[in-house]
Amino acid sequence: MKNIKELKISVISIILLLLSFDVFADTLIKARKEMISDLEANWDLNSFSSSQAIIRELTLKDYIRIGLSRNPGLRSAFYKWKAELNKISVEFSLPDPKFSYTNYLESVETRVGPQEHAYSISQKIPLPDKLGIKKNRQFHTSEEFYFKFQQKKLEMIYHITESYFEYAYLAKSIAITEENINLLKSIENAVQAKYASGIAQNQDVLKLQVEIEKLKSDLLSLKTQQLPLMSRLRGLLNLPEDIFLPWPDESFEQIMLGEVFSDPENLILELKENNKEIKSLSEHIEKRKGGLKLSRREYFPDLTIGLTKIDTGDAFNPATIDSGKDPVILKFTFNIPLWFGRNKARINTARSLLQAAEDSKIGKVKDLEYKVFTIHYKLKDASRQSKLYKTSLIPKAEQTLEATKAAYEAGKTDFLSLIDVQRMLLQFQLAYYRFTATSYQKLAEMKYILGIEEF
């Protein structure tokens, strides 16, 4: 009896040891769960639901805040991560125990009485450390989806920023075109007066009117772009289609690039350290390593512990010692991993999946490195062009326009020269805002690639 009790205690100790075996940072898992609770509490699906909702003037940060709290694609990535995180406890749990009932159709007569019924319960215990490997593998799977969620979040910030500055650039283009139309109309009055007095020719008036009509046509084309750009922004923010988004009040100040953006090699180091897609692929590799490790464990048998109690009736002779005593049977069962070919195929499959994951990461890193160099060039070039137009070309064009206007009024130059200078100034103004908007967009794309979340 003492030996049976000691054996039971040993079995229970083995089970508790397996259940408490933990190779992870449980504090990180707990932190992830708290993060999930906080994020779910911040989903904002009720605001802007009414068609009568009024959108005030929004900044870029407002757009990003709304998008991160409402975008369905981001929520989809979030719930995929949450589902994988919840699977950790599933992978680290023992299989369901099995209960069986046996009825002896004909009772078995024994010295202590007839045996009529038997009740059994058994529990399978994966050995030696399969539960820990499964939990480790599932943890890396959850981390893979966590970084996919983070990547989706950064992608959202980038797309919102890109669309915002495209929308802001369109607003500036419309405003500048309207200003130039008004400028030409003011010139038209002077030309009409000179024509009436016989100083100017009729062709000057016609050229000016043609130029004004051309700018009006350009203005109409610009205004028709508002709806598509507004629709894209609304889609990113998951807003109703009948909500009108006002023009952004964007000053388009020139970007001051920090030292981190001066050297592409530093950006590559930042990429390898912080890029969420690379981190996700790294976790995928760890998951595949766990799969390979688990497939090798299939050569080890699993233990099944069973306990059976047999109902025994009273003996024919009531004076019999232990009359009617129910026997209890403790049983240990091991499966025999006999089919080595099947286990070898599992290992080869796991090894191939691991190699594929490692090669996929190498290819992605090379692709992202190329993108970093390309974006860096475009960012530096757009920033340089923006500075050139603001500090040099536009001021000189404005001076040239004033000088040409004075020369025309004094009869020292023809009207076509005045129109050409005015057209050049318009092109320079549009180019400045185009390059400035592009520099903001490329900076946002660079942060997205590097895994920088600030906005």
**Residue 157 sits in the same domain as residue 305:** no
**The pLDDT of residue 20:** 46
Token pair for residue 294? 């688990």
Q: Is the pLDDT of residue 422 over 60?
A: yes
Looking at the structure, do residues 164 and 286 belong to the same domain, yes or no? yes
Residues 6 or more apart whose CB falls under 8 angstroms from that of 382 comprise 435, 436, 438, 439, 442
Q: How far apart are CA 383 and CA 101, in angstroms?
A: 80
Whether residue 195 sits in one domain with residue 312:
no
Instruction: Clarify whether residues 170 and 305 are in a common domain.
Output: no
Is there a single domain that holds both residue 40 and residue 189? yes
Phi, psi of 307 (to 5 degrees): -130, 125
The pLDDT confidence band at residue 251, using thresholds 50, 70 and 90, is confident
438: closest CA among 379, 372, 370?
Answer: 379
pLDDT band at 202 (very low <50, low <70, confident <90, very high): low
User: 87 or 190, which is more confident?
Assistant: 87
Task: Tell me how far apart the alpha carbons of residues 142 and 280 are, in angstroms, rounded to a whole number.
Answer: 10
Note down the domain range covering 426: 22-86+128-300+340-450
**Each residue's pLDDT tens digit, 371-412:** 999 999 999 999 999 999 999 999 999 999 999 888 877 778
Burial classification of residue 85, based on how many CB atoms lie within 10 Å of its CB (0-12 exposed, 13-18 middle, 19 or more buried): buried
User: Which amino acid is residue 186, in one-letter code?
Assistant: S
CATH number for 136: 1.20.1600.10
* Structural domain count of the chain: 2
The residue among 319, 336, 353 that closes a domain is 336
**Mean pLDDT to the nearest integer, 98-105:** 89
pLDDT at 45: 64
Q: Do both 105 and 62 map to the same domain? A: no
- Kindly state whether residues 99 and 149 are assigned to the same domain: no
pLDDT above 60 for 40: yes
| pLDDT score of 257 more than 70 | yes
Q: Output the pTM of the full model.
A: 0.84
> Is the predicted pLDDT of residue 104 greater than 90, yes or no?
no
Question: Which DSSP string do the residues of 7-23 spell out, in sequence order?
Answer: HHHHHHHHHHHHHH---
pLDDT band at residue 201 using 50, 70 and 90 as cut-offs: low
pLDDT exceeds cutoff 50 at 197: yes
Q: 132: how many CB neighbours lie within 10 A of its CB?
A: 20
**Looking at the predicted structure, is the pLDDT value of residue 26 above 70?**
yes
Comparing CA positions, the residue from 302, 288, 285 lying closest to residue 129 is 302
CA pair distance 388, 393, nearest whole angstrom? 6
Tens digit of each residue's pLDDT (9 = 90 or more) over 148-169: 999 999 999 999 999 999 999 9
Of the residues 318, 336, 354, the one at which a domain ends: 336
Please report the pLDDT score of residue 441 as a whole number.
Answer: 95
pLDDT for 114 equals 81
Distance separating alpha carbons of residues 162 and 190, to the nearest angstrom: 42
Does residue 157 sit in the same domain as residue 233? yes
Nearest to 238 by CA among 429, 397, 47: 47
Asked if residue 152 and residue 32 are part of one domain, the reply reads yes
Question: Which has the higher per-residue pLDDT, 333 or 414?
Answer: 333
Of the listed ranges 148-162, 407-421, 435-449, the least confidently predicted one is 407-421
Tokens of 260: 């981190």
Q: Are residues 307 and 368 in the same domain?
A: no
Cα separation, 380 vs 372, in Å, equals: 12
Q: Are 433 and 252 in contact (CB under 8 A)?
A: yes
Residues 317 and 207 in one domain: no
The CA–CA distances, whole Å, from 246 to 13, 45, 227, 249, 405 equal 68, 21, 11, 9, 36
Distance CA 148, CA 410 (A): 68
How much is the pLDDT for 21? 44
Question: Are the C-beta atoms of 354 and 291 separated by less than 8 Å?
Answer: yes
Q: Is 133 helix (H, G, I), strand (E, B) or coil?
A: helix
Confidence category of residue 24, pLDDT binned at 50, 70, 90? very low
d(CA 413, CA 424): 17
Confidence of residue 416 (pLDDT cuts 50, 70, 90): confident
| Chain mean pLDDT for the chain | 86
Residue 118: strand, helix, or coil: strand
Of 336, 362, 394, the residue that ends a domain is 336
Shared domain check, 179 and 32: yes
User: Does residue 10 sit within a domain?
Assistant: no
Judged against a pLDDT cut of 70, whether residue 47 lies above it is answered with no
Which tens digits make up the pLDDT trace of 335-370?
888 888 888 999 999 999 999 999 999 999 999 999
pLDDT in tens, 304-341: 999 999 888 776 777 667 676 888 899 999 988 888 88
Residues 6+ apart with CB under 8 A from 229: 163, 166, 167, 170
Phi/psi for 63 (5° steps) reads -60, -45
